[in-house]
Amino acid sequence: MTSPRRSVLDNAVVYQIYPRSFKDSDGDGIGDIRGICEKLDYLEQLGVDVLWLSPIFASPNDDNGYDISDYRAIMKEFGTMADVEELIAQARQRGMRILLDLVVNHTSDEHEWFRQSCSSKDNPYRDYYIWRDPAGYSEDGTPLPPNNWISAFSPSAWEFDETTGQFYLHMFSPKQPDLNWENPEVRREVYDLMRFWLDKGVGGFRMDVINLISKPQELIDAPLAVNDPAVAGGSRESSLAMSVNGPRVHEFLQEMRREVLDDYDTLTVGETPITTVEDGILYAGFERGELDMIFTFEHVSLDFSEQGWGKWSDRRTSLSALTATLEHWQKGLEDRAWNSLYWNNHDQPRAVSRFGNDSPEYRVVSACMLGTVLHMMCGTPYIYQGEEIGMTNVSFPEIDDYDDLETHDAYDTYVRSGIISHEQMMRFIAAKSRDNARTPMQWDESEHAGFTTGTPWLPLNPNYPEINARAAVADPHSVYHHYRRLIALRREYPVIRRGSFHLLEPDSETIFSYARATAEDRLVVVANVSATTVECDYAAASPAALQRRGVEGAGWQLISSNYADDAGSVLRPYEAKVYLGHAPQS
């Protein structure tokens, strides 16, 4: 169609691996590259053809690898360069593409560039980072930060460096200083390291917070009263809002395409918080020559706190808000740009716990329902490790059982200052902590779920004797086999890849249903997103009932269901069906 890359895109199904938690091959309790190689058969049988690896590079692990100290070295616990080359080769043999995580908004403070940058104001690397003079000094002589921004993982986005008497900017932790993309040398370094990996045969990049790379030149205050801890969550958002989609971001991405990506066969996806559909078209428009797709955050922000505490809340989104958001992106990008489709990743809670129902009775059926409604939309589906077996959120008893720095920072911000009680915050953490996604992958029912023979770096979810890959592969009705069939359907039917999107029940709080259409084909997806049985007159694809909903089609046949039998126009708890039809004969 409009873009030569579009045919690569619409067939792709991506599986995200968080290497630290995927499979440990040497018993040190930390997943590694050889562990990933051991599981390629499992992934191939699932049917995915792109593997996105969260960062595998040398790192002091302040943020588990999202703080890189050497872009050309492999994290010691993960293995060697030879292991990575072997993984790329083995994946290739299976027709799989490896995407690396390109974290270039910031480096680790232990990166050589930053060590040099800190050493003196006239060091050639000084300008690789964003340094500013203090705004002034308090009465006791404490230097005041250049503006009021706060960072995602710490109280201020500025850290004072005693040696040179200036502050550096870090939108994440103080150990993640932001690179200065205004400096052409920085951009050249980034393009070089991208080429280094592409020459080794990687098939593209997931680009970490890539819409933060161009900072506004006047670093003016964020609009909210950011120093008031009562609105700290909102202030984090407003500080972040000041630094996204900056003045030169599109220029930089177009330069990156020209300088690097145009020379290789790549797939690229940008992580872009706080972006609208209009921004999405700028970043991922078919004609624009920037990225292939972006991750929007809108649908994973609907259940945020109503008190201004950002994501820290345990409330659920309403279904109508969720379907409206998904529809907005489906229709907004139609024929203009490409969607990425995801329920969860290494930063988000487990899909079945957040949007489905993780009780023993409904876990499998609701996880299958979520897979169905996601995979039948237009865009590239992303599966986060463990989602395909219906892994659930975890709940650790003590704050010290959690590893994630964001979780600890939030606890400190809200509980130590008395804004949220310990008990309430522990509930919010159980619902939202990033560690929900990071407990080790559950491979089987043996000790430590077959993840490691050593002591796992993060405790396992205790439900692994019931929920594990071995059990899922052995059971034809499992989430795993349902996902495998959904992936196969996408490859088989062009209407899943390319059809237009039409939401059928915009106001419903129980039914999520939509129709897709190409000139020849029709698809209807109808799902009950509740634990009660509901009536739905077109749930058995009655042509007359569908017509009343504005769907013209004929020859309807059921091609996917998460129940063994059919209950006609009744939808049982979390039931999800997909019907394929053809356009009416004229």
Active site members: 208, 271
According to CB under 6 A, which one of 130, 209, 489, 541 is a site residue for ligand GLC? 209
Q: Which is nearer to ligand GLC, 198 or 209 (CB)?
A: 209
Residue 269 beta carbon to ligand GLC: minimum distance, rounded to whole angstroms:
12
Among 412, 439, 280, which Cα is nearest to 344's?
439
Tokens of 117: 């940058």
According to CB under 6 A, which one of 347, 358, 435, 521 is a site residue for ligand GLC? 347
Close Cβ partners of 226 (under 8 Å, ≥ 6 residues apart): 148, 149, 150, 232, 235, 238, 239
C-alpha 20/C-alpha 36 separation (Å) is 10
Whether residue 501 contacts residue 334, with contact meaning beta carbons closer than 8 Å, is answered with: yes
Tokens 């098939």 belong to which residue?
203
**Cβ–Cβ contacts within 10 Å for residue 586, how many?**
3
Q: Which is nearer to ligand GLC, 269 or 373 (CB)?
A: 269
Residue 322 beta carbon to ligand GLC: minimum distance, rounded to whole angstroms:
21
Residue 271 beta carbon to ligand GLC: minimum distance, rounded to whole angstroms:
6
What residues from 135 to 194 belong to the interface with ligand GLC (CB under 6 A)?
Answer: 172
Residue 129 beta carbon to ligand GLC: minimum distance, rounded to whole angstroms:
15
Q: Which is nearer to ligand GLC, 342 or 483 (CB)?
A: 342
Whether residue 157 contacts residue 170, with contact meaning beta carbons closer than 8 Å, is answered with: yes
End-to-end CA distance of the chain: 26
Map residues 90-109 to x or -, x wherever contact with ligand GLC holds by CB under 6 A: -------------x------
HSE-up of residue 342 (Cα within 13 Å, Cβ side): 25
Q: Which is nearer to ligand GLC, 18 or 125 (CB)?
A: 18
Residue 206 beta carbon to ligand GLC: minimum distance, rounded to whole angstroms:
9
Q: What is the dihedral of CA 226, 231, 232, 235, to 10 degrees?
A: -50
Contacts 24+ apart (CB under 8 A), 78-87: 78/19, 78/20, 78/30, 78/31, 78/32, 78/33, 79/32, 79/33, 79/34, 80/33, 83/32, 83/33, 83/34, 83/37, 84/33, 84/56, 84/200, 85/200, 85/201, 86/33, 86/37, 87/33, 87/36, 87/37
Q: Which is nearer to ligand GLC, 346 or 482 (CB)?
A: 346
Map residues 256-275 to x or -, x wherever contact with ligand GLC holds by CB under 6 A: ---------------x----
C-alpha 140/C-alpha 364 separation (Å) is 60
Region class of 430: left (phi > 0), else alpha (psi between -120 and 50), else beta: alpha
What residues from 460 to 489 belong to the interface with ligand GLC (CB under 6 A)?
Answer: none
Per-residue CA distances from 8 to 205, 397, 519 (Å) = 15, 45, 21
Residue 210 beta carbon to ligand GLC: minimum distance, rounded to whole angstroms:
10
C-alpha 480/C-alpha 354 separation (Å) is 19
How many residues touch ligand GLC (CB under 6 A)?
A: 9
Q: Which is nearer to ligand GLC, 191 or 297 (CB)?
A: 297
Residue 208 beta carbon to ligand GLC: minimum distance, rounded to whole angstroms:
5
According to CB under 6 A, which one of 77, 208, 435, 575 is a site residue for ligand GLC? 208
Q: Which is nearer to ligand GLC, 103 or 578 (CB)?
A: 103
Whether residue 181 contacts residue 243, with contact meaning beta carbons closer than 8 Å, is answered with: no
What residues from 62 to 91 belong to the interface with ligand GLC (CB under 6 A)?
Answer: 63, 66
Residue 502 beta carbon to ligand GLC: minimum distance, rounded to whole angstroms:
32
Per-residue CA distances from 196 to 89, 92, 270, 289 (Å) = 16, 18, 20, 21
Q: Which is nearer to ligand GLC, 59 or 339 (CB)?
A: 59
What residues from 498 to 557 belong to the interface with ligand GLC (CB under 6 A)?
Answer: none
Among 576, 519, 568, 572, which Cα is nearest to 545's?
568
Residue 457 beta carbon to ligand GLC: minimum distance, rounded to whole angstroms:
16
Q: Which residue is nearest to ligand GLC (CB)?
A: 66
Q: Which is nearer to ligand GLC, 66 or 338 (CB)?
A: 66
**Cβ–Cβ contacts within 10 Å for residue 361, how many?**
12
Whether residue 34 contacts residue 22, with contact meaning beta carbons closer than 8 Å, is answered with: no
Tokens of 25: 């091959």
575 binds ligand GLC (CB under 6 A): no
Which residues are at the interface with ligand GLC (CB under 6 A)? 63, 66, 103, 172, 208-209, 271, 346-347
